[in-house]
Amino acid sequence: MTEHTVTAYDEELRALAGRVAEMGGLAETLVNDAVTALLTQDLDRAHRTILADSRLDELQQDVEMRLIRVIARRQPMGQDLREIMAAGRIANDLERVGDLAKNIAKRVIAIDGDFNASKAAFGVEHMAELAMAQLKAVIDSYTGHDAEAARSVRERDDEVDALYTSLFRELLTYMMEDPRKITQCAHLLFCAKNLERIGDHATNIAENVYFMVTGEQLLEERRKIDETGVTDQENA
């Protein structure tokens, strides 16, 4: 294989990873916008978030086409194959994160109420901050090829799940106290669930980054909370 060929191949892999990183940045923005729209009841921002999600779908299709082309042309093995497989799987998780952000944005419109003043806002905000921190950290671990950072993301998923379980119960309590809040709280339950699932996707990505970098699986079973939250590996 000539040096020229190797360089072109490296360039293909770099371009693929670049697209995945671009998806990561966009997914972060979508989640942040959806949550901000929810906390401030900003319907304009919610509408923009819904529209922006289609770009993430386009990028995922682009990643898929690049994957097929590079596998067909280069018959990758070992480390290169791991990079390519990780790119495809991570793109898949990021596209789903975008769908979940879009769903939160749609619920902003469905709620259309004085959420800002509601007692539940604090819990949702806290959970959103943690889920977004997880997403940011795992994208950084991907671009930095940092297996240890990926492992930490996975370990912190328990915190997201614990917050979800606590918020689930809190929202049910509000429903019981004031039946007029039931519709609003039902939408918030789904928003909380979406944030918990975004945390799960961050964990999936972390496992793929770890495997990509080290060639080893993070095997130990994740300890997950499984009570009313029913969170265990739903989207693993």
Q: Given candidates 6, 15, 43, 176, which one binds its own copies under the rule CB under 8 A?
A: 176
Closer by beta carbon to its own copies, 8 or else 148:
8
Checking 172-178 for CB contacts under 8 A at 24+ apart, the result is: 174/118, 174/119, 174/120
What string marks each residue from 144 to 173 as x (binds its own copies by CB under 8 A) or -? ------------------------x---x-
Using alpha carbons only, what angle is made at residue 32 by residues 29 and 36, rounded to the nearest 5 degrees?
A: 135
175 lies in the site for its own copies, by CB under 8 A: yes
Residue at 161: amino acid letter: D
- Using DSSP's 3-state secondary structure scheme, residue 113 falls into coil
CB of 25 to its own copies, least distance (A): 22
CA distance 236 to 210: 15
CA distance 71 to 73: 6
Closer by beta carbon to its own copies, 24 or else 98:
98
Q: Given candidates 6, 25, 73, 119, which one binds its own copies under the rule CB under 8 A?
A: 73
CA 53 to each of CA 2, 165, 198: distance values in angstroms, whole numbers, following the listed order: 41, 28, 15
Closer by beta carbon to its own copies, 31 or else 149:
31
Q: Are 229 and 196 in contact (CB under 8 A)?
A: yes
51 lies in the site for its own copies, by CB under 8 A: no
CB of 74 to its own copies, least distance (A): 8
What string marks each residue from 74 to 103 as x (binds its own copies by CB under 8 A) or -? -xx----x---x------x---x--xx-xx
Q: Are 86 and 208 in contact (CB under 8 A)?
A: yes
Of residues 105-124, those binding its own copies (CB under 8 A): 106-107, 110
CA distance 1 to 3: 7
Closer by beta carbon to its own copies, 175 or else 218:
175
Which span (3-11, 32-40, 149-157, 179-187) binds its own copies, by CB under 8 A? 179-187
DSSP 8-state symbol, 204: H
CA distance 50 to 56: 11
Residue among 200, 205, 203 nearest 86 (CA): 205
What string marks each residue from 181 to 200 as x (binds its own copies by CB under 8 A) or -? -xx--xx-xx--x-------
Residues that bind its own copies (CB under 8 A): 57, 64, 68, 71-73, 75-76, 81, 85, 92, 96, 99-100, 102-103, 106-107, 110, 168, 172, 175-176, 179, 182-183, 186-187, 189-190, 193, 226-228, 230, 232-236
